[in-house]
């Protein structure tokens, strides 16, 4: 399998792990981050700014999920740039950067950041889950390169 395909597949695995963690945790913990709400607001505003009618209801949820998985997969695929050495460290760094960006960028972009800033614990979970997604992507890319 080509290196780019391995990176992309690994990124997709990391994004899937991240979304699974978010989905399960939201059902178990009222302070869990609700990144999906942030994404729905961002998508609605972006589509409206383009002069189009944003989706609503289940169409908005599906569009946001698709955009979230695609964007996180693309970000996590960057972990595979470079050799196998330090792959897990790159996973941690990329995950931490995306998690910290999720905490800081929305408010500056005019979005309601409450879904990821309900409490200090919510903020820690946000970053930790992106790190876990990064580690999953790194482990997947590294495993595929062994073959």
pLDDT tens, position by position, 89-123: 999 999 999 999 999 999 999 999 999 999 999 99
Task: Give which of 42, 29, 32 is closest to 118, Cα–Cα.
Answer: 32
* pTM across the whole model: 0.92
Q: Which is more confident, 137 or 147?
A: 137
Is pLDDT at 145 greater than 90 in this prediction? no
- Asked if residues 97 and 72 have their Cβ atoms less than 8 Å apart, the reply is no
For residue 10, name the pLDDT band (cuts at 50, 70, 90): very high
Predicted confidence band of residue 77 (pLDDT cuts 50, 70, 90): very high
Distance CA 93, CA 130 (A): 10
Q: Given pLDDT bands bounded at 50, 70 and 90, which one contains residue 3?
A: low
Q: What contacts 136, CB < 8 A, 6 or more positions away?
A: 13, 14, 17, 18, 91
Res 141 pLDDT > 60: yes
* Per-residue pLDDT tens over the stretch 37-49: 999 999 999 999 9
Question: What pLDDT is attached to residue 4?
Answer: 67
The pair of three-digit structure tokens given for residue 98, joined into one six-digit string: 């995306």
pLDDT on residue 146: 79
Counting the structural domains of the chain, the total is 1
Domain span at residue 27 reads 3-146
Query: Quick check: 12 pLDDT over 80?
Result: yes
Confidence of residue 83 (pLDDT cuts 50, 70, 90): confident
């Amino acid at each position: 399998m080509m290196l780019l395909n391995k990176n992309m597949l690994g990124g997709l695995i990391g994004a899937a792990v991240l979304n699974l963690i978010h989905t399960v945790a939201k059902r178990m913990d009222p302070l869990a981050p609700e990144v999906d709400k942030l994404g729905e607001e961002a998508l609605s505003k972006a589509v409206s700014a383009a002069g189009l009618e944003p989706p609503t209801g289940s169409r908005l949820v599906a569009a946001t999920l698709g955009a979230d998985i695609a964007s996180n997969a693309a970000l996590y695929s960057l972990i595979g740039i470079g050799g196998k050495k330090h792959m897990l460290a790159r996973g941690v760094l990329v995950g931490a950067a995306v998690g910290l960006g999720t905490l800081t960028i929305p408010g500056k972009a005019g979005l309601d950041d409450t879904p990821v800033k309900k409490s200090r614990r919510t903020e820690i979970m946000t970053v930790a889950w992106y790190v876990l997604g990064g580690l999953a992507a790194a482990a997947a890319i590294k495993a595929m390169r062994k073959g």
